[in-house]
């Protein structure tokens, strides 16, 4: 069952509205087996559940959706720019936590966190 957006995600060590470095989120996901999604559209991230989005976009290739798994985003960006991870260390990319909970993801009950990518005008000078 999905967690409501306003609830604190105590077992995830994050809360909705919190802003967290993308590399810290990546480590949190890896360490605790949490699926983390990065959204590119504010309205979609805040109004629709991850279960609904996964169902809606199930036939759309991952890289064409308005959201992506965090590890896929980092992997793709790293394939385009081998120095991407170093740039993230020098100039952190801060994501906003939108929601967290448990949902059926790829056929099994999984813990998840949804996040929102900052808009370009909010990003100071991160060159990708």
Assigned domain for 3 exists: no
Residue 113 has pLDDT above 60, yes or no: yes
Assigned domain for 83 exists: yes
Taking the C-alpha atoms of residue 62 and residue 40, their distance in angstroms, rounded to an integer, is 13
Assigned domain for 125 exists: no
Of 66 and 7, more confident: 66
Q: How many domains is the chain built from?
A: 1
Residue 121 has pLDDT above 50, yes or no: no
Assigned domain for 55 exists: yes
Could you tell me which of 119, 40, 113 has the C-alpha nearest to residue 76?
40
Q: What's the predicted TM-score (pTM) here?
A: 0.84
Each residue of 78-93: pLDDT tens digit?
A: 999 999 988 988 888 9
- What per-residue confidence (pLDDT) applies to 13? 78
How do 34-39 and 94-105 pair as beta strands?
Answer: unpaired
Range of the domain at 45: 10-119
Assigned domain for 97 exists: yes
Assigned domain for 87 exists: yes
Assigned domain for 100 exists: yes
């Amino acid at each position: 069952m999905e967690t409501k957006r306003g609830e604190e995600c105590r077992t995830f060590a994050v809360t909705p509205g919190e802003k967290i470095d993308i590399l810290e989120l990546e480590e949190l996901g890896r360490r605790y087996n949490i699926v983390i999604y990065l959204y590119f559209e504010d309205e979609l991230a805040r109004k629709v559940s991850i279960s609904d989005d996964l169902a809606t976009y199930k036939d759309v290739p991952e890289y064409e959706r308005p959201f992506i798994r965090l590890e896929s985003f980092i992997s793709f960006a790293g394939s385009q720019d081998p120095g991407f991870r170093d740039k993230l260390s020098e100039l952190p990319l801060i994501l906003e936590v939108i929601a967290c909970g448990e949902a059926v993801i790829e056929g099994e009950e999984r813990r998840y966190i949804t996040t929102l990518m900052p808009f370009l005008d909010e990003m100071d000078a991160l060159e990708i």
